[in-house]
């Protein structure tokens, strides 16, 4: 079948993207689902820094590539061997396809799936190859999803079925921003009621971490960013104090607001420099969780003696250390109960025509979560 899709032709372009030629909307041929795969009509797809990191070249991926990895939609067809998902099901797509068989998957760590990671790095699906083509040219998949398309084909291990009662705009954000930020707090850090928290970077992931910390009973919850509107939103979502990251001494400000240093610091920017700041802002015995994805070439310098002498901990959290089949149902139940107002992360809606300009908004730090509706006109 034919489908429209947003194609990234090359890496490394700097903004502005509006009016440029690196990201264009094309008509591509989409093959039917192979064994263990699904054809999904995409209803909503979030714009994430992981997409922007491919565009600007800090996360190298093969091109041409159909972008997009945070999405929700409706299953239209299933391939051979799929027995637990049916056409008409509503699904959330996640950006690590779990093979279900490797040591990592078998030990309850599907976010670390080695088969899925290899497929993602190669721009292929787990079963091998790509499903988007045109005139003999193959178009790579982004993180096994490629959600910036009217329709896409994904592995069964890339989706979680959700009730039709969950709006697509909410469901889409559960697959990346909320899963990652919430999971970093609950799964990776194992936060306890009364722990103090600081969150650096208030995009969709950071604000989800703020919501999770408040819901888990953390106090105080300090939110750090340079954008006033994001600081205000964080305060309304449960942050008890906010700190402007452009202030002269952020570490002192955070330490003061957190009562001498945070028990848990979450770096949600993807910056080695911010990771150093987050580490410096934790208390003795505190834990710093690296959530954002920095450029692979960047290095952080940390005082090694504090790991032993002060009992500090540095942890990485990829996809919120999540098991999507377990965690996404938890997230939508919390949303249904009014405890996780995911819809407040949404800062814009767009069609294909507005996609390049939307990435300009994201690059400038003004947007939290903009949602693409691929079938809208």
pLDDT of residue 130: 97
Instruction: Identify the three-state secondary structure at position 86.
Output: coil
- Report the distance separating Cα 38 and Cα 205, nearest Å: 27
pLDDT digit string, tens, across residues 279-296: 999 999 999 999 999 988
Beta bridge partners of 199: 223, 266
What average pLDDT does this structure show over 136-146? Answer: 97
Of 189, 163, 27, 196, which Cα lies nearest the Cα of 90? Answer: 163
What average pLDDT does this structure show over 135-139? Answer: 96
What average pLDDT does this structure show over 8-30? Answer: 95
What average pLDDT does this structure show over 96-125? Answer: 95
What average pLDDT does this structure show over 328-348? Answer: 97
Complete DSSP assignment for 145-160: T--SBSEEEEEGGGEE
Tokens of 157: 């291990």
What average pLDDT does this structure show over 128-137? Answer: 96
Question: Is 133:153 a contact under the CB 8 Å cutoff?
Answer: no
pLDDT band at 259 (very low <50, low <70, confident <90, very high): very high
pLDDT band at 121 (very low <50, low <70, confident <90, very high): very high
pLDDT band at 153 (very low <50, low <70, confident <90, very high): very high
Answer whether 0.85 is exceeded by the pTM.
yes
Instruction: Identify the three-state secondary structure at position 30.
Output: strand
Residue 34 pLDDT greater than 90, yes or no: yes
CA 214 to chain CA centroid, Å, is 20
pLDDT of residue 307: 94
Residue 12 pLDDT greater than 80, yes or no: yes
% of the chain beyond a pLDDT of 70: 100
pLDDT digit string, tens, across residues 154-211: 999 999 999 999 999 999 999 999 999 999 999 999 999 999 999 999 999 999 999 9
Of 200, 319, 211, which Cα lies nearest the Cα of 250? Answer: 200
Instruction: At 43, give phi and psi (nearest 5°).
Output: -100, -30
What totals of helices (H) and strands (E) does the chain contain, helices first? 12, 18
pLDDT band at 300 (very low <50, low <70, confident <90, very high): very high
Q: Give the residue ranges of DSSP H helices in 185-314.
A: 204-215, 228-236, 250-257, 272-280, 305-309
Instruction: At 37, give phi and psi (nearest 5°).
Output: -125, 165
pLDDT of residue 377: 60
pLDDT digit string, tens, across residues 47-61: 999 999 999 999 999
Tokens of 2: 């034919």
What average pLDDT does this structure show over 346-354? Answer: 95
Element (H, E) at 38: strand 37-46
Question: Is 172:166 a contact under the CB 8 Å cutoff?
Answer: no
Of 179, 155, 114, which Cα lies nearest the Cα of 334? Answer: 179
What average pLDDT does this structure show over 112-116? Answer: 96
pLDDT of residue 375: 84
Tokens of 264: 């848990």
Residue 376 pLDDT greater than 90, yes or no: no
Instruction: Identify the three-state secondary structure at position 103.
Output: helix
Domains and CATH numbers, the chain: 2-175+341-372 (3.90.180.10), 180-317 (3.40.50.720)
């Amino acid at each position: 079948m034919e489908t429209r899709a947003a194609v990234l032709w090359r890496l490394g372009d700097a903004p502005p993207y509006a009016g440029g030629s690196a990201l264009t909307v094309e008509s591509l041929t989409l093959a039917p689902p192979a064994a263990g795969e699904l054809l999904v009509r995409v209803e909503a797809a979030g714009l994430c820094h992981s997409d922007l990191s491919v565009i600007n070249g800090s996360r190298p991926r093969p091109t041409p590539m159909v972008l997009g990895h945070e999405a929700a939609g409706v299953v239209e067809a299933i391939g051979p061997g799929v027995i637990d998902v049916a056409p008409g099901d509503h699904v959330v797509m996640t950006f690590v396809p779990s093979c279900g068989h490797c040591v990592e998957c078998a030990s309850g760590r599907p976010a670390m799936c080695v088969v899925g990671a290899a497929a993602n790095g190669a721009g292929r699906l787990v079963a091998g190859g790509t499903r988007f083509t045109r005139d003999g040219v193959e178009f790579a998949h982004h993180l096994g999803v490629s959600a910036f398309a009217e329709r896409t084909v994904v592995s069964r291990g890339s989706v979680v079925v959700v009730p039709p009662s969950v709006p697509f705009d909410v469901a889409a954000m559960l697959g990346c921003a909320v899963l990652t930020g919430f999971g970093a707090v609950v799964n990776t850090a194992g936060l306890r009621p009364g722990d103090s928290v600081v969150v650096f970077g208030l995009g969709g992931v950071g604000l989800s971490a703020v919501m999770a910390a408040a819901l888990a009973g953390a106090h105080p919850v300090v939110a750090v960013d340079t954008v006033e509107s994001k600081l205000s939103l964080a305060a309304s979502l449960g942050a008890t104090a906010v700190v402007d990251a452009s202030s002269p001494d952020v570490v002192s400000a955070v330490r003061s607001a957190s009562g001498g240093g945070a028990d848990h610091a979450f770096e949600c920017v993807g910056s080695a420099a911010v990771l150093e700041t987050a580490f410096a802002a934790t208390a003795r015995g505190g834990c710093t969780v690296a959530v954002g994805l920095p450029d692979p070439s960047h290095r952080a310098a940390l005082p090694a003696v504090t790991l032993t002498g002060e009992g500090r901990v540095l942890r990485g959290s990829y996809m919120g250390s999540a098991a999507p089949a377990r965690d996404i149902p938890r997230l939508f139940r919390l949303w249904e109960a009014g405890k996780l107002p995911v819809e407040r992360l949404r800062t814009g809606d767009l069609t294909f025509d507005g996609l390049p300009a939307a990435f300009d908004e994201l690059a400038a730090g003004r947007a939290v979560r903009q949602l693409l509706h691929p079938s809208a006109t």
